[in-house]
Structure 1
Amino acid sequence: MISMDSRTKAFAFPVTSNFSASIVTVHPSGMREIHWRPTSDEWTFFIKKQGRATLFTAPDAATTFDYMAGDVGYFPQSNSHYVENTGDEDLMFLEVLHAPQFTGMTLGQWIASTPRQFVTHTLNLDDGTLSQVKTEKQCVVAGSTSD
């Protein structure tokens, strides 16, 4: 078992070499950061409570779905997506990959690892905004506790 942070646990299954999974808990008003899987499709099984997922399909399409415990979501390989907690209790879901290792790329991680001049020019972001992007992977991002 590999601990990604206190709310996300990733697992590889020794009985099979081509599946891996992560259990994710998202607190109220938080979200699973925008991310994509470069090596596998992702199947998500919603275990507890409710959430909303948005899937971005290049070059210009986005689809949003509401989920509740017992639902299954599917995110094609390389399509970025995020899951937000829309309830007032912890949202828990299982992400499953058809891959021997649990891998993925978050938007923050990609921006932080791309040359700053390229990001500034392409996304029209100033240095102040870019300096707030964390270089370490944030699987779950806390929401605001103020109204």
Structure 2
Amino acid sequence: MTETPNHEDSAQPNRRVAIGAGVAALGGAAVGSGLGFAAARARQTNASALPNAGELDNNLGAASHLFHLDAEEPLRFDGGTLQGAHEGNFPVLAGQQGSVYLVRLEPGGIREPHWHPTAWELNYVISGTTRWSILGTHPDGTYRRDVFEASKGDLVFAPQGYFHYFENHTTDTTLEVLVIFNTSAQEPNDDIGIVGTLNSIPRDVLAVCFGVPETAFGQVPTDIKPVVITKRPR
């Protein structure tokens, strides 16, 4: 059952949560500039390989239109797996600005809070129940935090640049989500996680922004990975 969004949080978000997430998004630009540039560079490279509509048509006529997504070797994480189809492994997508990923989260699995600088995503829940949080800014300058649950058959849209995460908060059911992006690049080239974001900002600056001692960030890990699926300890 889908929960009603927390409109109280939406209207008056906790100041530290809003500031922290805002800092994460702004600070992520620093660590993400390299990733964003890499994504743009990758797209430029692929575009140069298919520079005109005729070559795009030729590619569509020559490349296979079938991809066995479930047969693709998954990336394995502590909290689940990730399988994707993109122009790197599904050539018919070259120049089409589209990719798709199948995310499986074990019970307690969490997709690291993150954002995508150059792509939106549309998520279809195949099975299970997932808890979402999406944070974005709006024309009046305020933050809007949308918190809700999505179940089998539901669609969730995360706009480009919005900070978000989802998790499988159940204890006994695997969650499956199909994620569609409007980019042909591989997800790691357009993904900035919260750990990388925090590591892009000096600890003393984080302390000032959060209003806590600098030592509060002493245990933030420095091992930065492009895509993270973790899980809650049992």
Stretches of structure 2 that go unaligned for 5 or more consecutive residues are: 1-71
Question: 8 Å contact 2:105–2:176 — kept in the other structure?
Answer: yes
Q: State the AA in 2 paired with 1:38.
A: P
Measured against aligned partners, the alpha-carbon deviations of 1:38-68 in whole angstroms (never above 9, x if no partner) come to 1111111111211111111124211122111
Identical-pair percentage: 22
Aligned position for 1:9 = 83
- Larger radius of gyration, structure 1 or 2? 2
Q: State the AA in 2 paired with 1:89.
A: T
Aligned position for 1:131 = 219
State the Cα distance separating 1:134 from its structure 2 match. Answer: 4.2
Runs of 4+ in 1 over 6 A off after TM superposition: none
Which protein is richer in helix relative to its size?
2
Measured against aligned partners, the alpha-carbon deviations of 1:68-111 in whole angstroms (never above 9, x if no partner) come to 12211100001111111132211111211101212211111211
Higher relative contact order, structure no. (Cα contacts within 8 Å, ≥ 6 residues apart) = 1
Q: Flag the 1:91–1:134 CA change in 2: closer, same or farther, 3 A.
A: farther
**TM-score, normalising length: structure 1:** 0.84
RMSD, matched Cα: 2.2
**TM-score, normalising length: structure 2:** 0.55
1:115 lines up with 2:192 in the alignment? no
Aligned position for 1:25 = 104
Aligned position for 2:192 = 105
Count of paired positions? 145
Q: State the AA in 2 paired with 1:14.
A: P
State the Cα distance separating 1:118 from its structure 2 match. Answer: 2.6
Aligned position for 1:142 = 231
Question: 8 Å contact 2:93–2:99 — kept in the other structure?
Answer: no
Q: State the AA in 2 paired with 1:54.
A: S
Q: Which stretch has the larger CA shift, 69-78 or 3-12?
A: 3-12
State the Cα distance separating 1:8 from its structure 2 match. Answer: 1.9
